[in-house]
Structures are given as C-alpha cells and as structure tokens.
Amino acid sequence: MKLILLKCVTDMVKETIELESEEDTRSLARSLTSLLAPGHVLLLSGDLGAGKTTLTRYLCQELGIDQGQVASPTFTVIHEYHGGRIPVAHVDLYRLGPGADVMDLGLYEYLERGFLVIMEWAEFMTEALEYPTVKVHLKLLPDGTRLAQLEISSS
C-alpha cells in the first residue's frame, strides 16, 4: 500500500489507495487514527462486503477498544464503544436505506460529548454533519482487491 497521510494545510486531500489484504486495511486504520479526534466523523460508503466493518474494527483496535465489542450495528443502528482513547459511536444506516433520516439518531449529541462517529452506509444520509469529516469510499474489485478513496477536509 502506497500512502502517506499528511496533515495538510490545504482544504481538501483526495487520495486513492489499494488494499490488497486486511493487513493493508489495518495500515489504513493506523493512518486514519492519527487524523481522527473526539467530535470528528468518519463516513464509510461502498459496496456490500467492501470492508467497512473491517476498517471500523481495526480503527477501534488502534484506539484501544476491545475488538470483541465491535460488530456491525445493523439492527440497532448505533453501537457505543468505550474503554479506548476516544469513545466511538458506530452507526450503520443499511437498515434505514437511501434517504435515511439521521436527525433522530442523536449524532450531534454524540459529537458534542466527544465521541468519534463512524458511519457505515453513509451514502444513505442526505444531510451533512457540520463536524470535521473524513470520507472513505470502498470499492470491491473482481479480484478481491479493495480500493479506498479518501477525502479529508480540514474543517
């Protein structure tokens, strides 16, 4: 995997990287944790099975959260993980579908309380959350390689 994530003075960084294995996903998670802080949002989008939960799991591991806690909250929509460097609210909009109304999910309360919000199926959300945001779009290629398209804004 060829990637050096820099804290940049420009407004937006866009980068596409190849994830040939879960080890590459783990490296990406490690790089992302250095950019993510309390009150930040990580939006994950992409195909079924593209690796959104896997990336979330490695990120949580990097933050010191017990991996056993981390499972996709498909039915409950949100899981909270404590015990790491930053508390995490893990959101999965899959069950809500396109045009998901996230206003009742209490996301702003989580962000105000210093949680990192990690959201799977973020493409289903129509509004933007006005908090510092990193976007990762994952694409699953026929040979099993994943492409991760990153969009990092400084505000």
Ligand X SMILES: Nc1ncnc2c1ncn2[C@@H]1O[C@H](COP(=O)(O)OP(=O)(O)OP(=O)(O)O)[C@@H](O)[C@H]1O
Which range of residues in 32-40, 48-56, 104-112, 124-132 is near ligand X by CB under 6 A?
48-56
State the Cα–Cα distance between residues 25 and 12, nearest whole angstrom. 22
Between 48 and 103, whose beta carbon lies closer to ligand X?
A: 48
Which range of residues in 44-52, 63-71, 77-85, 99-107 is near ligand X by CB under 6 A?
44-52
Rounded to whole angstroms, what are the CA distances from 98 to 5, 18, 44, 124? 31, 27, 14, 4
What binding mask, one character per residue, do residues 77-116 give for ligand X by CB under 6 A, x or -? ----------------------------------------
Note whether 19 and 28 are within 8 A (CB). Answer: yes
Give start and end residues of each alpha helix (H) in the chain: 22-33, 52-62, 107-112
Residue 19 binds to ligand X (criterion: CB under 6 A): yes
Cβ-closest residue to ligand X? Answer: 51
Note whether 19 and 146 are within 8 A (CB). Answer: yes
* Residue 151 contact among Mg ion, ligand X, none, beta carbon within 5 to 8 Å by kind: none
Q: How far is the CB of 54 from ligand X (least distance, A)?
A: 3
